[in-house]
Amino acid sequence: MPGVIDLYRVRGPLFAGIEGRRDRAVYSIIGAPLDATSSYRKGQRWAPRYIREASENIESNGYYVRGPVIEDLAMYDEGDIALPHGDAREAVDRIERVIGEVAGEDRVPVVLGGEHTITLGVLRGLMAAGYSPCVLVLDAHLDLRNDYMGEEVSHATVFRRVLEQVHPDKIVYVGVRAFSEEEAGIAESRGEVEVLYSWDVERMGPINAGTKARLVLSGCRHIYISIDMDVYDPAHAPGVGTPEPPGLRPREVLKILVEAIDDRVVGMDLVEVTPPYDCGGITGVLVAKTIQEVLLALEASRRHRRA
Ligand SMILES: [Mn+2]
């Protein structure tokens, strides 16, 4: 029987306000507060707490996903990984070790960044746990430079390192609209990379774009999702490290996601939220809503498979 303390105690912020139980968890919420290499706006290290706080203050039902609500999910909020602020390589190594353990215990890591560089550590951790997932990336950028200002492990190079060191079965980008010539060349020359540019999404509409992404992922045994919040138009997500107008609208992004994904997802990250540059909490509530809609889509897919 719950005591008075359970009625009146407040702990947190915790993702969606849910403390959860680790021994029963399917999803592990983990913060990776890194902003070591941010080239324009810094402050991604403040994002995990900011996202949790916003997530405690939105409603728990889905927008496109009907049925499950967020309280139905077996979630556990692990807290944040302690990361050194000036050392991206050491941070990536620590993330790899933590995620390797979480995935090895059969939980799906839901990682709150942090700059985009953290994705390299999460994917390495999943590989250490025996997964070789396809990767669905929502991002305004390709992040395929070989180095950025001499740094090889950086938010601007993260998927070049992923291609070299992690070898996913396939990478599918959605919403890309900003890249250098070098990056476009890499994307074109690698057979495992598919790009649905922002203008493709505009032409096809979100349902067809989601269906296209699903088709590309159809042969994949496992899927990893990386969502850079700058995929949204800066009007909807101003609090990001490198905003790039014009971008996708919230209903487009959510529709694409729910069309494209299912319970083959073994991990995800939400990156580049930069609270000091947010306005009125817009980016905070949108990132919380995005995570929630994805988790509900995965839960609906699990239920459908069991039925
Ligand atoms: Mn980006």
Identify the residue whose tokens are 């080239």. Answer: 39
Does residue 270 sit within a domain? yes
| 49 and 31 Cβ atoms separated by less than 8 Å | yes
For residue 272, the domain's CATH number is 3.40.800.10
Rg of the chain in Å (alpha carbons): 18
Does residue 210 sit within a domain? yes
> What is the reported pLDDT for 167?
82
* 233 C-alpha to ligand 1 centroid (Å): 12
**When comparing pLDDT for 304 and 224, which is higher?**
224
Q: What is the mean pLDDT of residues 75-92?
A: 94
Does residue 71 sit within a domain? yes
Does residue 138 sit within a domain? yes
* 74 C-alpha to ligand 1 centroid (Å): 30
Does residue 7 sit within a domain? no
Rounded CA separation 221/265 (Å): 9
Q: What are the tens digits of pLDDT across the range 6-28?
A: 788 777 899 999 989 999 999 99
Does residue 104 sit within a domain? yes
Q: What is the mean pLDDT of residues 160-187?
A: 93
Residue span of the structural domain in which 29 resides: 13-306
* 113 C-alpha to ligand 1 centroid (Å): 13
Does residue 3 sit within a domain? no
Domain total in the chain: 1
Pick from 49, 78, 110, 125: nearest CA to 296: 110
Rounded CA separation 276/42 (Å): 8
Exposed, middle or buried: residue 56 (CB in 10 Å: 0-12, 13-18, 19+)? middle
* 42 C-alpha to ligand 1 centroid (Å): 14
pLDDT at 75 over 80: yes
The conformation of residue 45, written as its DSSP 8-state character, comes to G
Does residue 8 sit within a domain? no
Residue 144 pLDDT class (50, 70, 90 cuts):
very high
Rounded CA separation 48/77 (Å): 11
pLDDT at 281 over 80: yes
* 116 C-alpha to ligand 1 centroid (Å): 7
> What is the reported pLDDT for 305?
87
Rounded CA separation 206/257 (Å): 9
* 23 C-alpha to ligand 1 centroid (Å): 35
* 284 C-alpha to ligand 1 centroid (Å): 17
pTM of the predicted structure, to 2 decimals:
0.96
* 142 C-alpha to ligand 1 centroid (Å): 7
Element (H, E) at 173: strand 171-176
* 86 C-alpha to ligand 1 centroid (Å): 20
| 13 and 50 Cβ atoms separated by less than 8 Å | no
| 269 and 31 Cβ atoms separated by less than 8 Å | no
Residue 266, token pair as written in the block: 């073994």
Mean of the per-residue pLDDT values of the chain:
95
Q: What percent of the chain has pLDDT over 70?
A: 100
The conformation of residue 176, written as its DSSP 8-state character, comes to E
**Which ranges of 130-249 would DSSP assign to H, the alpha helix?**
158-165, 181-189, 198-204, 206-216
| Least confident window among 83-92, 103-112, 206-215 | 83-92
Q: What are the tens digits of pLDDT across the range 235-273?
A: 999 999 999 999 999 999 999 999 999 999 999 999 999
Would you give the end-to-end CA distance of the chain in angstroms?
32
* 17 C-alpha to ligand 1 centroid (Å): 28
* 135 C-alpha to ligand 1 centroid (Å): 15
* 153 C-alpha to ligand 1 centroid (Å): 15
Residue 38, token pair as written in the block: 């941010």
